[in-house]
Amino acid sequence: MKTGSMQDLALNHIPVMSEEILSYLAIESDGIYIDGTIGPGGHAAPILNSLGKHGKLIGIDRDEEALKICNENFSSSSSLLSLYHSSYNKLDTILSKEGISYVNGIILDLGFSSNQLNSERRGFSYRSEGNLDMRFDYTSGEKASDVIKNNSIDKLTKIFQIYGEERFSYRIARSIKEMKEMKTVNHLREAIRRCTPPKNRDRILARIFQSLRIIVNNELEILQDFLLKFVNYLSPNGKIAIISYHSLEDRLVKHQYKHLSDISVLKILTKKPIRPSEIEILNNKRSRSGKLRVGSKI
């Protein structure tokens, strides 16, 4: 896809460590690749730009709105791109539909896009004013407000402890359940404000929102399922590149890479995770917590 650089497309989402991923993937012009969290297509652009007419990129995302944007952005390269409204852990089913047994590379960027963060309807960010939804796939599943409604103080405390690693978990859970209404970001923010010290409150808010988002979207279960199966669909020397943004995700990735390395299935190419450069962080503050781990199938 050498005619007209895909990089010139006006994408709202700034991809994290795009150059590093492209370098590790070493795109083959006739290769087959999976972007399991394609979103609006930030990482897809340079991959498509490197593919020849026999290459292929399979894009997967749970966010139907993001897929529509991606489809519009890459309408001129539809012969190289197949898009699926699904979850990346369903790669076995998707590859079966495509009639493909192995791929040359897989990437996952486990963060979320500016479009999602800025959406008032989604409620992903504690700085937004929207409803407490937090679903990647807004067509199914429980909203964050449902999770709060359907769980006791003790269960919410465990959620905040396990998935947010928050020291004020019980205090926050009790305050939440004491609120008359808990349907909007404002309601949740107010419940947290009432029971926590002002110092570092932004970090507390971030941890609580993170823990609810993980539960709502079954993020760790989906990642674990993917990690148990991805290597079966990589060709020899095929690459796996995963960017995680919090310790729970990174720990799962690190441990599974290590396990696959110990049984001589995967060669770890990043002994320590790659972090965004200072320049990238200046240009995109949301990249700050990203950790990239890459492996190659033996």
What rounded mean pLDDT belongs to the chain?
Answer: 91
pLDDT at 113: 64
Q: Considering only residues 9 and 29, tell me which one the structure prediction assigns the higher pLDDT.
A: 29
Backbone φ and ψ for 292, nearest 5 degrees, come out as -105, 125
Q: Is the pLDDT of residue 40 over 80?
A: yes
**Is the CB of residue 187 less than 8 Å from the CB of residue 132?**
yes
130 and 63 part of one domain:
no
Lowest-confidence segment of 1-5, 15-19, 42-46 by average pLDDT: 1-5
Tokens in use for 13? 């989402």
Mean pLDDT of 70-77: 87
Q: Is the pLDDT of residue 75 over 80?
A: yes
Of 218, 236, 270, the one marking the end of a domain is 218
81 and 178 part of one domain:
no
96 and 184 part of one domain:
no
232 and 195 part of one domain:
no
Backbone φ and ψ for 107, nearest 5 degrees, come out as -125, 145
What percent of the chain is predicted at pLDDT more than 70?
93
3-class state of residue 264 by DSSP: coil
pLDDT at 11: 44
Paired with 241 in beta bridges are 107, 294
Q: How confident is the model at residue 116 (pLDDT cuts 50, 70, 90)?
A: low
Range of the structural domain that residue 82 is part of: 6-115+220-297
97 and 20 part of one domain:
yes
**Chain segment 222-278, per-residue pLDDT in tens:** 999 999 999 999 999 999 999 999 999 999 999 999 999 999 999 999 999 999 999
pLDDT at 3: 36
19 and 62 part of one domain:
yes
52 and 26 part of one domain:
yes
**Burial class of residue 99 (count of CB atoms within 10 Å of its CB; 0-12, 13-18, 19+):** exposed
Model-level pTM greater than 0.75?
yes
Within-domain flag for 75: yes
173 and 28 part of one domain:
no
Q: How confident is the model at residue 76 (pLDDT cuts 50, 70, 90)?
A: confident
Within-domain flag for 1: no
pLDDT at 9: 37
Of 170, 201, 218, the one marking the end of a domain is 218
Paired with 103 in beta bridges are 234
Q: How confident is the model at residue 5 (pLDDT cuts 50, 70, 90)?
A: very low
69 and 111 part of one domain:
yes
18 and 110 part of one domain:
yes
**Chain segment 118-154, per-residue pLDDT in tens:** 666 778 888 888 899 999 998 888 999 999 999 999 9
| Count of structural domains, the chain | 2
pLDDT at 220: 97
85 and 171 part of one domain:
no
**Chain segment 185-235, per-residue pLDDT in tens:** 999 999 999 999 999 999 999 999 999 999 999 999 999 999 999 999 999
Of 218, 243, 270, the one marking the end of a domain is 218
Q: What angle do CA 83, 58, 100 make, to 5 degrees?
A: 120
Q: How confident is the model at residue 57 (pLDDT cuts 50, 70, 90)?
A: very high
Q: How confident is the model at residue 117 (pLDDT cuts 50, 70, 90)?
A: low
User: Domain containing 45 — which CATH number?
Assistant: 3.40.50.150
pLDDT at 23: 96
Q: What angle do CA 295, 297, 298 make, to 5 degrees?
A: 120
What percent of the chain is predicted at pLDDT more than 90?
81
pLDDT at 77: 78
152 and 290 part of one domain:
no
User: Domain containing 148 — which CATH number?
Assistant: 1.10.150.170
Q: Is the pLDDT of residue 4 over 50?
A: no
Within-domain flag for 155: yes
Within-domain flag for 165: yes
